[in-house]
Amino acid sequence: MDAQLVNDYKDFMKRLMLVLNKQNIAIGKAAGLRDDSRLIRSFKTKTNYRAVQFLANEYLENVDKGRRPFSRKIPINVLIDWIRRYGISSSMSTNQLAFVIQTSIYKKGIAPKNIKVTLTSSMLDILEKRMTDELEDAIADEFVNSFRI
């Protein structure tokens, strides 16, 4: 295989990963994720030049599916860490606030974000469009070059 062709393909895939990473972060933000959340910062798109892989914290499953009302309670210590990490302040103590949040989530649940479906669909659309454009350009170049003397 032509070395230039391999290098062109690798360059294309690197550019494609940048586009996919930006798009995935935009989808996360549109779904209500904060810029500084650990989840959105974990979004990565990688390739071994044969396949494309999307990576994220396992927590994505929980955010994607949401939480049904009256299911298991979230541990207080997890909520306390979350309150401290995001600097949430209240007239209540941190423990009281964590208990109120825990009770609210237990009673009302958390609506699913359905991010994975949107991410997958968007990634496939981008891959299809970019790959098609790249192949069209390569075929056109080969066709033109075949008529050169």
Mean pLDDT of 12-22: 90
More reliable by pLDDT, 30 or 1: 30
pLDDT digits (tens, 9 = 90+) for 56-114: 999 899 999 999 999 999 999 999 999 998 899 999 999 999 999 999 999 999 999 99
CB 80 within 8 A of CB 101: no
Q: What residues are paired with 55 via a beta bridge?
A: 44
pLDDT digits (tens, 9 = 90+) for 122-137: 999 998 998 888 888 8
Among 127, 123, 125, CA closest to 135: 127
Among 131, 126, 133, 129, CA closest to 20: 126
- Give the helix, strand, coil percentages of the chain, each rounded to 5: 65, 5, 30
Q: Is 70 exceeded by the pLDDT of residue 149? A: no
Q: pTM, whole model, 2 decimals? A: 0.73
